[in-house]
Chain A
């Protein structure tokens, strides 16, 4: 884990699921520093960062990439911006977002695929830049809802 530079915290973690909770703790702690996000916003941040980081780790595991996943958290102007970067093979975010109504039989048969929807619902702004050499997930959270 690297150090703190100004108001940006940068973390590099091994591509292992047991590091996701560490990322949640560090990013939430950073968000609670002055100027802090309100507690419900920190909760939103924890969930969204957990989704993005888990997806990044899984992308590395699936592709056999042993390089670290990078998480950058920047505080400025009453908001927190997070970028989760991986070096996996990329994916089509729009295709994954083809939502199935929750009360259909098909929806009950799916136990995954909710992560991107959750990130987009919780963040004030989100974007996914994905290509064959990796994916950057950008999340921005305002201080208040």
Chain B
């Protein structure tokens, strides 16, 4: 199984719903989709992991990359993830400290942006 990425709009947010397996094979697809959104002007991105079956460090790397690209342009990233199994992998790397997690897309849409951290180029 590879990764699936579905795009939708919840103005002012863009939502990328990611399913399948976000590993060394799937991560480049997410990275490419994020780059396209940022280049097209997206500054508020929600990555919905509700349908995700698996994530490892390569998938998380793509998500860290999304956060970096958005914050460099004054944007923000929110993650939707209810699975304890998936969230645990993020928590091991302390990524829950720098990325906002939500239980639903509605919750993410209604959220206030997290304070941006400066990023070295």
Contact = CB atoms under 8 A, between A and B. Distances in A.
Interface residues of A, number: 32
A21 B58 contact: no
Given A47-B89, A114-B93, A121-B92, 13 more contacts: A20-B25, A21-B21, A21-B23, A51-B57, A102-B94, A102-B98, A105-B120, A108-B119, A109-B68, A111-B65, A117-B93, A118-B56, A118-B89
A103 B25 CA distance: 27
Interface of A: 17-18, 20-21, 24, 40, 43, 46-47, 50-51, 54, 57-58, 101-103, 105-115, 117-118, 121-122
B93 A118 contact: yes
24 contacts: A21-B25, A46-B54, A47-B54, A47-B56, A50-B54, A51-B57, A54-B56, A57-B24, A103-B98, A105-B120, A108-B98, A109-B68, A109-B120, A110-B64, A112-B58, A113-B57, A114-B57, A114-B93, A115-B56, A115-B57, A115-B58, A118-B56, A118-B89, A118-B92
Nearest to B121: A109
B119 A109 contact: yes
A106 B60 contact: no
B97 A18 contact: no
Contacts, number: 82
Interface of B: 1, 21, 23-25, 54-58, 60-62, 64-65, 67-68, 71, 85, 89, 92-95, 97-98, 117-120
